[in-house]
Amino acid sequence: MAFYVAIENRDVDAMMDVWSGSDDVVCIHPGAPRLEGREIIHDSWQQIFESGESLRFRLTDLRCLREDRLSVHTVREEIEVDGELVDIMLTTNIYAYTDEGWHLILHHASAEPDFEDGEGDTFDSLDDSQPDGPITLH
């Protein structure tokens, strides 16, 4: 969850603490090219955070697959700005376990195909009996 807390707090240092110290990291923001390496990923998050928008996340449909030293998380992100749902992303975050603990090695987010300008599915039909249910960060 530290990844989403860093975004909501617009804290680039906290964001980079989530990422692996290795330069073999990849970040793909929605509609953007593949970014490789800590420096360029740092710069991309810095630009996002400097935009001034206060993003809030509601996470649904979280799935985790953990194998030994690798953990793959897929999630739907409902993104709000000023209390209004503005986008839904389908995201994959892959973490690797190192001597320093779990760290992000890949973040890939793409737009939910059925969501257009706030008129799409807001996941009201999801089964509330999912383990842990939706997660709202604030």
Quote the CA–CA distance of 41 and 49 in Å, as a whole number.
Answer: 12
User: Is the pLDDT at 135 greater than 70, yes or no?
Assistant: no
Instruction: Report if residue 12 sits inside a domain.
Output: yes
Phi, psi values for residue 2, rounded to 5° = -60, -30
Helices (H), the chain: 2-8, 12-18, 38-50
Instruction: Report if residue 81 sits inside a domain.
Output: yes
For the chain, the residue count is: 138
pLDDT digits (tens, 9 = 90+) for 35-55: 999 999 999 999 999 988 889
Q: What is the value of pTM for the model shown?
A: 0.81
Instruction: Report if residue 126 sits inside a domain.
Output: no
Into how many domains does the chain fold?
Answer: 1
User: Is the pLDDT at 133 greater than 50, yes or no?
Assistant: no
Instruction: Report if residue 125 sits inside a domain.
Output: no
Q: Which residues constitute the domain of residue 81? A: 2-117
